[in-house]
Structure formats: structure tokens, C-alpha cells
Amino acid sequence: MATAAEITAEIAEITTAISHILKGGQSYTITSGGSGTSRTVTMADYEKLAKHRNELRQQLAEVNGTRSFRLTPGW
């Protein structure tokens, strides 16, 4: 299992990637001048990154021992 520092570093990288996606969009189209053909390039998948970041946050909580749980009343 990864250390808390490794998980935190990966969360920071994913957060940066998500920020770039939100600023510049997820995909763009390139049109060549000579032949007039175009193609669309997708940089990264926002939903996959967000899901992975949430999974990493859960792992970090487990490593740090801060995972929350609900206690039921004892009566």
C-alpha cells in the first residue's frame, strides 16, 4: 500500500489535471491547412480523474486512520 505522502502527491497531480481541464476544456479540434481535414483530440477524461481522486482520498483516510464510520445507539 502507498504511503500518505505518495497518495497526497498523486491527489495534487490529479487536482492540477482537473484544473487544467476546467480551464482549457477536455478536447479540441485540429484542422490541417492544406487538405482541410480535421481531427479531434481528447486530453483527459474528467470523470475518470474525479473518480480516481475520490478513491485516493478514501485510501488516504484509511492510511491516516481517519476513516469515518457511524456508530449506532447502544440502547
Residue 39 belongs to a domain: yes
Q: For 36-59, how does the pLDDT look when each residue is reduced to its tens digit (9 = 90+)?
A: 788 877 767 889 999 999 999 999
- Write down the mean pLDDT value for the chain: 82
Q: What is the pLDDT of residue 73?
A: 66
Residue 21 belongs to a domain: yes
Percentage of residues of the chain with pLDDT beyond 70: 83
CA distances from residue 61 to 7, 29, 41 in whole angstroms, order as listed:
10, 40, 35
Residue 53 belongs to a domain: yes
15 or 44: which leads in pLDDT: 15
Read off the pTM: 0.66
- The domain in which residue 9 lies consists of 4-64
Rounded to whole angstroms, the Cα distance separating 13 from 35 reads: 38
Q: What is the pLDDT of residue 54?
A: 95
**Under 8 Å CB-to-CB from 35, ≥6 apart: which residues?**
none
Residue 73 belongs to a domain: no
Residue 16 belongs to a domain: yes
User: How many structural domains compose the chain?
Assistant: 1
**Under 8 Å CB-to-CB from 46, ≥6 apart: which residues?**
18, 21, 22, 26
